[in-house]
Amino acid sequence: MLVLSRKVGEKLVIDGNIIVEVVKVQGNRITLGIAAPSDVKVLRGELANKKQKTQTVELVVKDGLLVAC
């Protein structure tokens, strides 16, 4: 993990086409602006984790035995 210190207005460029900018710092909260191509999915961490937990799993049972999942 890369850990950086940034001030308001400073940016971080990822892979040349994703820009993360510190917009505001207030107390223990920061506001970030993210500019990315439309084909890049940007999710908050808690939403990404929730999506992973709710994935559908298909189980294949043959002759009473689990053969694939």
| Residue 31, SS3 per DSSP | strand
pLDDT tens digits in sequence order for the chain, 69 residues long = 888 999 999 999 999 999 999 999 999 888 899 999 888 888 888 777 676 555 555 666 666 665 555
Tell if the pTM clears 0.75, that is, is over it. Answer: no
Q: Where are the alpha helices (DSSP H) in the chain?
A: 45-53
**Rounded to whole angstroms, how far apart are CA atoms 30 and 23?**
8
